[in-house]
Amino acid sequence: MGNLKGSLERNNPFAKIFILLAITLVCVILISPVSLLTVTRPDNIDLLKWLQLIMSVTVIVLPPIVLAYLISYNPLTFLRLNKKTHLSDILLVVLIMIVAIPLINLLGDLNHRMVLPKSLAAIENWMKTSEETAAQFTEKMLNVHTLLGLSFNVLIIAVVPALGEELFFRGALQGVLKDWKGIRPAIWLSAILFSAIHFQFYGFVPRMLMGAFFGYLLFWSENLWLPITAHFTNNVIAIIFYYLKLNGFRVPDIDAVGFGNTLWLGIASGALTLFGIVQLRRRFATKSL
């Protein structure tokens, strides 16, 4: 394996994108016998969770790591995993993600109100069916009543997706697209693909904007651990609130804060989030001087 390290470094960006997709396809093929179990045993949630973990690691986490190894003599540097992360940066990113919750919900509500032309009714029905199926599956995954079950959910729904998706879309894809199209097109193309791959169309806009924020955060900080932290924070908050509500704790419905009767919170959240992002940008600009 040693002689393969960095062996494809001189390939052009388009070739590197093809290599990433090819590696991902190989991983999908290798894992396909395991994924068939999700069809044959759809009611076994514990099994589905383990399969979800295995598939996520194989298809999302592994390909960008292999790509980085093949196209760089310093894979950690290529993936921006080598930089020291300061606690103050982590806390600021976490705070911004918490403050942004009502804004994300407001954008999700506006996205959900989208109505396609009558000529596209079949597509709209398919989108709604896909959304409902995804929501039902998520509810089954989140339906736990023990701390052990909560911890496993945090692992498979927060830790692994945050690490894997940021490695794939920001560390690898954005890194390669930057050399091909420039940094800003790379950020937005990665964000669009990041949102599209979830196949949850009525949450497309807020997820795309979050992906763009993660991309700019990487661009400003040159540190992938910060987008990973932001992604993890977004996921883990939803998991914890759902667990608390399901198990009898009196907590607000966090997905409903920011629109309807709490529209003012969504607007305030937008202003505060924008302010926080500007401050974050200035913070990293100052550090780079």
Q: How far apart are CA 117 and CA 119, in angstroms?
A: 5
Q: Which of 177, 179, 172, 199 minimizes the C-alpha distance to 187?
A: 177
Each residue's pLDDT tens digit, 19-32: 999 999 999 999 88
Closest by Cα among 62, 78, 59 to 13: 78
Token pair 């883990």 in the structure block, residue:
236
DSSP helix/strand/coil, 72: coil
Query: Is 38 a residue whose pLDDT tops 70?
Result: no
What distance in Å separates the CA atoms of residue 195 and residue 151, rounded to the nearest whole number?
A: 26
pTM for this model (two decimals):
0.92
Mean pLDDT, range 125-131, rounded to an integer: 78
Task: Give me the helices (H) in the chain, please.
Answer: 13-35, 37-40, 45-56, 62-71, 75-78, 87-99, 101-112, 121-142, 147-153, 160-165, 175-181, 183-196, 204-221, 225-246, 263-287
Name which residue leads in pLDDT, 289 or 270.
Answer: 270
Q: How far is CA 68 from CA 162, 202, 252, in A?
A: 18, 33, 42
What DSSP character marks residue 144?
Answer: -
Helix 45-56, helix 121-142: angle, nearest 10: 110
Q: What is the mean pLDDT of residues 100-126?
A: 86
Residue 287: pLDDT band with limits 50, 70, 90: low
Residue 39's pLDDT band, with cuts at 50, 70 and 90, is low
Q: Quick count: other Cβ atoms within 10 Å of Cβ 162?
A: 21
Least confident span in 57-71, 102-116, 166-180: 102-116
Q: What is the spatial distance between Cα 94 and Cα 217, in angstroms, rounded to a whole number?
A: 12
Rounded to an integer, the average pLDDT of 246-251 is 90
Place of tokens 């937008």: 270
List, for residues 186-245, the tens digit of each pLDDT value: 999 999 999 989 877 888 999 999 999 999 999 999 999 999 999 999 999 999 999 999
Condensed to tens digits (0 to 9), the pLDDT of residues 134-188 reads 778 788 888 999 999 999 999 999 999 999 999 999 999 999 999 888 999 999 9
State the pLDDT at residue 214: 98
Centroid of chain to Cα 278? 22
For residues 287 and 105, the model is more confident at 105
Residues 249-272 pLDDT 10s: 988 889 999 999 999 999 999 999
